[in-house]
Structure 1
Amino acid sequence: MAAAANQSKAVNTAPFYSHQLRKFGIISILTLFAFMLVFLFLLPFANMALISVKTTDQITEGATGVIWPMEPITYTYDGDGDGDQDTYDLYIVPMPDGSTRQLALVQPGRQSSQFLDPSNPEAGLIAWEGNWRGLSRVTELHPHFENFQTAWDMLDFPKVFRNTLIIALTGMIGTLLSSICVAYAFARFPIPGKNIWFIILIGTIILPSQVTLIPTYAFFAKIGWTGTWLPLIVPHFFANAFNVFLLRQFFMTLPRELDEAAMIDGAGPFKVLTSVIIPQSWAAIIAVAMFHIIFAWNDYFNPLIYLLGQPDLLPISVAVQQFNFQYGPRPELVQATSLMAMVLPLVLFLFAQKVFMRGVVITGVEK
């Protein structure tokens, strides 16, 4: 009876462990897949970083399978006693007893070569039978960080950074001021036909820029703005449809009771905007600011056509591209300039990551 009772109380745990094992397997596969995606995404940047610290010869050697910036080690020795130091390459030489030694090649030959032991040069030359071309060179890790300084000086990075920051920050101020005002009007004021006007505004987002390129350029050329920063800055003071949409969607999530409470205290529309709306909308505002800075930093076409023939006004996007055309045979300098051009947007994103991502989620998802 007792045995039967114990058997009836026994619990079959096999389904539970099977479920846990299946769950663990799914999580492991998804984690591995995520790591593979991150690896594939970062692989080009790792290749850029490696190339930027190599010489042209090291890059050529990399085509044969040498990934790291390795440089051959040489040995300097006055072999003939004339006072002149001779330089010899070091090789990994297999010895008859099965060991290997790092020896300097003094007299190469087809069947027999003469080597010198750098640790004991007084011992004289060491004869070695075999083809020395099949030996491996002795190398050491030698990254050339001076490539960044060379690229910095050749491109005049302080000047192009200054130009880009002026264009980006001035345009950011303009787009924030104008977009916030327009979005506030669409979100709070009873404008006649507001929904129709808003639909027309949003419709301009899908309008290709090439459609308005020629008349816009002709207009700026007519008023004498070509060759200046004005065509790259002034249009942002007239709002951007995409930014207006993001800010308007966020403003509509803020309760109107806050506006009414401020109005009871005597606040007007402008006071409500500056004291109620903006303080609660920093996430969306910072997201819009980051969007514009990244756009201005990467904008290549507009500066190319409006700043043609003005090398002192070029932003970093055009300057780096012209540098690439000029110094294409030196890929280490090209990659160094590209990495330095990525630094500021990456630093801005890392510092504003939490607020920026929150702004992206809020402006893109919440109703």
Structure 2
Amino acid sequence: MTTTQPTENALRRRRRGTLLTLCTTLGALLLAAVFLMPLGYGIATSLKDKDGVSDPDTGVLPVSALTFDYEGETHDVYAVPMPDGSTRDLALIEPGRESSVFIDPDDPEAGPIEWDGRWRTLDRVTGLDPQWGNFTEAWNTISFLRLTGWTLMYALVTMAFTVASSAWVAYGFARFRFPGRGLLFGLLMATILLPPAVTLVPKYAVFLQMGWVGTYLPLIVPQLFANAFNVFLLRQYFLTIPRELEEAARIDGAGPIRTFLRVIVPQSIPALTAVSLFHFFYAWNDFFEPLLYLAGNRDIVPIGVGLSYFSGVYNSEPHLILAASLLALALPVAIFLAAQRVFVQGIVVTGVDK
């Protein structure tokens, strides 16, 4: 049995394909690096101390001047030029005008080292010194557990309401025929174009008259009446589900509600997961409406509003503000990474080629 060697043209095409793949990968990595630069800068700044943030010479990384404890006292470390032309990192223990005494932090047993020269002309030695205590201080100052609890309540409750109501409405538009269905669906989609500022004052006036201002009711109850964007996404997905599955369920004696719960919902896990994620992240980051409706009750505000209060008090300490922001970001990122697996599994277990 003979094997044929690849032709020159095939080798060239393979090289071009490999080069194109490498260039595409490199471009994607560069784009991701540019996109993540602000996040990296925020993480680095959150690990600095107050002096490091205000000093432009410290650079991006969290560095600070090194010190050395000797005989119960803390001494600064300097880069000291030696007679042989080398430079050593030594701790200043006895400063003088024309000569000073240093100690080697790496070998303090060697004893003091006398150096002739003006120590004020020497450069301080710096090194990486992340201030992990910034996160502890921000956690305790911002009452993070309380804010997270209220935010989770708001996000999860409204997510459940909006997904359930939107799925019911989307199922009706996708599977049932009734007079004016197209007109009603068009009117529902038209509400997406309505700016929120138009309905802001009337909504606030109504909720104020009902005595709901200062509670979560103005934020939760409207989610019981579906959302046009979610309805559109779910309806489009429901239309891809074969009708044969519903017909089989109907033959088995299932009504519309049971068919929806036993057939449509299991087949729609990817779409329902996507809609749930969209709303959860929206509610987690929601700022204006909680600020408006909960202004009189700061004890129950979500984390977005709590961070704004924290920023107002600690506006001169950006490292603490960024530390608190990263703490608020951790949970949504973890939920997103966990939900990715659910999303992929939902596509696999549907069992239907769409």
TM norm structure 2: 0.90
Give 2:301's match in structure 1, choosing from 314, 317, 333: 314
Please state how far the C-alpha of 1:124 moved relative to its aligned partner.
4.5
Partner of 2:164: 177
Give 1:127's match in structure 2, choosing from 115, 118, 131: 115
Please state how far the C-alpha of 1:105 moved relative to its aligned partner.
2.4
Give 2:285's match in structure 1, choosing from 295, 298, 302: 298
Partner of 1:36: 30
Answer yes or no: is the 8 Å Cα contact 2:100–2:119 preserved in 1: no
Answer yes or no: is the 8 Å Cα contact 2:134–2:320 preserved in 1: yes
Please state how far the C-alpha of 1:117 moved relative to its aligned partner.
2.2
Please state how far the C-alpha of 1:106 moved relative to its aligned partner.
4.1
Please state how far the C-alpha of 1:321 moved relative to its aligned partner.
1.3
Aligned residue identity for 2:49: T
- Are positions 1:69 and 2:69 aligned together? no
How far apart are the structure 2 equivalents of 1:135 and 1:172?
A: 60
- Are positions 1:19 and 2:19 aligned together? no
RMSD: 2.5
How far apart are the structure 2 equivalents of 1:23 and 1:219?
A: 63
Give 2:101's match in structure 1, choosing from 115, 130, 151: 115
How far apart are the structure 1 equivalents of 2:12 and 2:286?
A: 54
Please state how far the C-alpha of 1:12 moved relative to its aligned partner.
11
Partner of 2:249: 262
Within 5 Å, give how 1:215-364 maps onto structure 2.
215-356=202-343
Aligned residue identity for 1:52: S
Partner of 2:87: 100
In terms of mean alpha carbon deviation, does 274-283 or 118-127 score higher? 118-127
Please state how far the C-alpha of 1:107 moved relative to its aligned partner.
4.9
How far apart are the structure 2 equivalents of 1:308 and 1:320?
A: 14
Cα–Cα, structure 1 residues 108 and 263, in superposed 2: closer, same or farther, change >3 Å? same
Larger radius of gyration: 1
Identity %: 45
Aligned residue identity for 2:262: S
Please state how far the C-alpha of 1:17 moved relative to its aligned partner.
3.9
Please state how far the C-alpha of 1:283 moved relative to its aligned partner.
1.0
- What is the total number of aligned residue pairs between the two structures? 344
Aligned residue identity for 1:313: I
Please state whether the residue corresponding to 2:150 is helix, strand or coil: helix
Cα–Cα, structure 1 residues 279 and 13, in superposed 2: closer, same or farther, change >3 Å? closer
Partner of 1:162: 149
Aligned residue identity for 1:308: A
Aligned residue identity for 1:98: G
Cα–Cα, structure 1 residues 201 and 124, in superposed 2: closer, same or farther, change >3 Å? closer
Give deviations 1:338-358, integer Å, cap 9, x for gaps.
001111111111001144479
Cα–Cα, structure 1 residues 218 and 359, in superposed 2: closer, same or farther, change >3 Å? farther
Please state how far the C-alpha of 1:222 moved relative to its aligned partner.
1.0
Give deviations 1:145-202, integer Å, cap 9, x for gaps.
1111111111101111111111111111111221111111111111111111111111
Please state how far the C-alpha of 1:64 moved relative to its aligned partner.
1.1
Q: Which runs of 5+ in 1 are unaligned?
A: 1-10, 79-84, 361-365
Please state whether the residue corresponding to 2:204 is helix, strand or coil: helix
Partner of 1:363: none
Partner of 1:186: 173
Answer yes or no: is the 8 Å Cα contact 1:105–1:113 preserved in 2: no
Answer yes or no: is the 8 Å Cα contact 1:103–1:115 preserved in 2: no
- Are positions 1:151 and 2:151 aligned together? no
Q: Which runs of 5+ in 2 are unaligned?
A: 348-352
Please state whether the residue corresponding to 2:214 is helix, strand or coil: coil
TM norm structure 1: 0.87
